[in-house]
Amino acid sequence: MTPTRHVFALLAAASLMAGSRAEAALNVVTTTSDLASIVAEVGGDKVSVQSLARGYQDPHFVEAKPSFVVRLNKAELLVVVGRDLEIGWLSALITQSRNPRIQPGADGYFDASLTAKILDMPEGQLTRAMGDVHPLGNPHYWLDPENGRRIAKALQAKLAQKDPANAAYYAQRTADFERRLGEAQQRWKSLMAPYKGLKVITYHRSWTNFADAFGIDVIGYVEPKPGIPPTPQHTLDVIQAMRAQQIKLILVEPYFDSKTPNSIAAQTGGKVVVLPPSVGGLPEAADYLKLFETDVNMLIAAIKSVGAK
């Protein structure tokens, strides 16, 4: 073989490898269903994406399964919520996966919180003392559609970096997602506009970004602190606050025991609304846009049913 032929043979082999990269979908694993939905919006049929947690599970406390390690072992990109949301279950799985591509700090480890607007930033010393599971700010930030947009744009750049052959495709999908999201945001905001300033109680501190986006006011929580179960004294305080401020709605994530919220509702003439905070939390919340569609519609139906405003 002449040197020139040899170079051609190498180029042919390289282009075959590049071709197989372009044809096989990029293997993406996310920790949560919301991130999986946004990856699917941006990546289309050029990615295969699976979420470890289901949308009806508490994302702070996901039961690790052996199958998670297998999935992580094969992943080319791991997308996490970050802000310590997954601290209780993910890091051991990443280690066990023995996959150098997705270790924290590696090119295939993507922390979606880095471009998001984060609320509830703690003042002073960062600590998980007293069981507070939000030591690095509120990790439920995907519940602001504006953060969904920011995550999509950051993912577009990451997917284009991992798979440059399809960069234009990812850019076009992201633009289309942003357009649909923007139209839906206008509709959700106008639907919620009559209820601006509505005061509610929520079980966990999951709805801070949602409340910020849609103008409602969360004035208390069934949990004394994020991650700490209700106590009798704290429950009494919540009941008194609801009575004093004429608050009627208690928003509860699907994975919490409804005993305390039901008892609070019974003593205040209030109503418990089980609202999904994640894609798949209810069947109709089937993707990122439908999650907000579901939550806005359920919330408005609940407001009307109690005549809260």
Closest approach, Cβ 60 to Zn ion, in A, equals 5
Closest approach, Cβ 141 to Zn ion, in A, equals 10
Closest approach, Cβ 59 to Zn ion, in A, equals 7
Closest approach, Cβ 138 to Zn ion, in A, equals 7
Asked whether 248 and 269 are in contact (CB, 8 A), the reply is yes
Nearer to Zn ion, 229 or 269 (CB): 229
Nearer to Zn ion, 226 or 276 (CB): 226
Closest approach, Cβ 53 to Zn ion, in A, equals 13
CA 26, 32, 38, 39: dihedral to nearest 10 degrees?
A: -10
**Residues near 277 by beta carbon (within 8 Å), at least 6 away in sequence:** 140, 143, 206, 207, 253, 295
CA 137, 141, 144, 147: dihedral to nearest 10 degrees?
A: 100
Closest approach, Cβ 118 to Zn ion, in A, equals 13
Q: Which amino acid, one-letter code, is at 70? A: V
Nearer to Zn ion, 177 or 210 (CB): 210
Taking CB under 5 A as the criterion, which residues in 226-265 touch Zn ion? 226
* Residue of this chain nearest to Zn ion (CB atom): 226
Tally the C-alpha atoms within 13 A of residue 105's C-alpha that lie toward its C-beta.
1
Taking CB under 5 A as the criterion, which residues in 204-233 touch Zn ion? 226
Inter-axis angle of helices 167-192 and 145-162, to 10 degrees?
180
Nearer to Zn ion, 82 or 226 (CB): 226
Give the interface size with Zn ion as a residue count (CB under 5 A): 1
Nearer to Zn ion, 159 or 274 (CB): 274
* Residue 80, strand partner residues: 111
DSSP readout, 108-143?
TEEEGGGGS---SPPPSS---GGG-S-BTB-S-GGG
Closest approach, Cβ 132 to Zn ion, in A, equals 9
Nearer to Zn ion, 137 or 226 (CB): 226
Torsional class of 53: left (φ above 0), alpha (ψ -120 to 50), beta (otherwise): beta
Q: How far apart are the first and last CA of the chain?
A: 83
Nearer to Zn ion, 97 or 206 (CB): 206
**Residues near 4 by beta carbon (within 8 Å), at least 6 away in sequence:** none
Q: Which amino acid, one-letter code, is at 208? A: T
Binding site for Zn ion (CB under 5 A): 226
